[in-house]
């Protein structure tokens, strides 16, 4: 079964550094998402991406964050100047159609630790 | 009132028992409903969609009650491997079709 893959599985970075989290969505999917989950808390929506542009973003997704689909396969989340509170699991997801019509498939996540 | 509410549990249930838990939602315009399962420190995985008529998948039954604005998940003949956190997810047009996640109900199946 096709999978969403994320790399790295664990990223440790110092406060103030930039990190790029990488995702390869399922190949025939058109909608891409980033979510995060702080340990012990609920899953939080960050951003959705369709047709090479952001379609929706949450309040969490401020100027510190950006997404990019640099080629036909990768979907990246960049966090500039990381803060301690950015430590969380970051999940990439993709879907064939809009999310109310099509289930999301999640990657295994990247655990980001900011020290 | 939170948009999606779940009893956090944990529900401690003996193997083989039947367990059910609910999820209430506040937005009457909610259109789509899902149950996801999340193992500790892993990604959420879709368990089942919840249809108006209710649906069953093996030992799992999901129901929607629009009048009372809740969905339910019933697990029959529970297995040790059912131990996980079960996340309720709701989508509504009002939220621009974003998934609204509950905080999850933790289920522990004991031998």
pLDDT in tens, B33-58: 999 999 988 889 989 989 888 899 99
Q: Tell me which residue of A13, A31, A93, A19 sits closest to B45, measured CA to CA.
A: A93
Is residue B94's pLDDT more than 80?
no
Contact A89 B99 (CB under 8 A): no
Please give the structure tokens belonging to residue B47: 């368990």
| pLDDT confidence bin for B91, thresholds 50/70/90 | confident
Determine if the peptide bond prior to A8 is cis (ω within 30°): yes
Interface of A with B (CB under 8 A): 41-45, 48, 56, 58, 89, 91, 98-101, 103-109, 111
Instruction: Using an 8 Å CB-CB cutoff, list chain B residues near A45.
Output: 98-99, 101
Contact B101 A44 (CB under 8 A): yes
Is residue A18's pLDDT more than 90?
yes
Question: What is the distance between the alpha carbons of residues B15 and A91, in angstroms, rounded to a whole number?
Answer: 31
More confident residue, B24 or B100: B24
- Nearest residue on chain B to A3, judged by CA atoms? B45
Dihedral through CA B3, CA B94, CA B53, CA B66, nearest 10?
50
Instruction: Using an 8 Å CB-CB cutoff, list chain B residues near A41.
Output: 103
Give residue A99's pLDDT: 66
Is residue A57's pLDDT more than 80?
yes
Is residue B20's pLDDT more than 80?
yes
Is residue B95's pLDDT more than 70?
no
Strand stretches in chain A, DSSP E: 5-7, 10-13, 19-24, 31-37, 44-50, 53-57, 65-68, 75-79, 88-95, 105-106, 110-114
Report, as an integer, the average pLDDT of B78-102: 86
Question: What is the distance between the alpha carbons of residues A103 and A105, in angstroms, rounded to a whole number?
Answer: 7
- Is any Cβ of chain A less than 8 angstroms from the Cβ of B33? no
Give the length of chain B.
111
Give residue B93's pLDDT: 66
Is residue A83's pLDDT more than 80?
yes
Give residue A70's pLDDT: 86
Q: Tell me which residue of A115, A95, A91, A114 sits closest to A105, measured CA to CA.
A: A95
Give residue A14's pLDDT: 97
Give residue A100's pLDDT: 63
């Amino acid at each position: 079964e096709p999978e969403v893959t994320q790399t790295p599985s664990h990223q440790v970075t110092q406060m103030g550094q930039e990190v790029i989290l990488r995702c390869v969505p399922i190949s025939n999917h058109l909608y891409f998402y980033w979510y995060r989950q702080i340990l012990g808390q609920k899953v939080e929506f960050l951003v959705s991406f369709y047709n090479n542009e952001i379609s929706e973003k949450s309040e969490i997704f401020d100027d510190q964050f950006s997404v990019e689909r640099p080629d036909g396969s990768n979907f990246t989340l960049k966090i500039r100047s990381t803060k301690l509170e950015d430590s969380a699991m970051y999940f990439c997801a993709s879907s064939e159609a809009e999310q109310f019509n099509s289930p999301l498939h999640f990657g295994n996540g990247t655990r980001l630790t900011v020290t | 009132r939170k948009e999606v509410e779940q009893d956090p549990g944990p529900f401690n249930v003996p193997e083989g028992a039947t367990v059910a838990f609910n999820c209430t939602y506040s937005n009457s315009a909610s259109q789509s409903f899902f149950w996801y399962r999340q193992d500790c420190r892993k990604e959420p995985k879709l368990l089942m969609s919840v249809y108006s008529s209710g649906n069953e998948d093996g030992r799992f039954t999901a129901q929607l009650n629009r009048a009372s604005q809740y969905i339910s998940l019933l697990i029959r003949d529970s297995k040790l491997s059912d131990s996980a956190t079960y996340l309720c997810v709701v989508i509504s047009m009002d939220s621009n079709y974003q998934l609204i996640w509950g905080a999850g109900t933790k289920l522990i199946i004991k031998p």
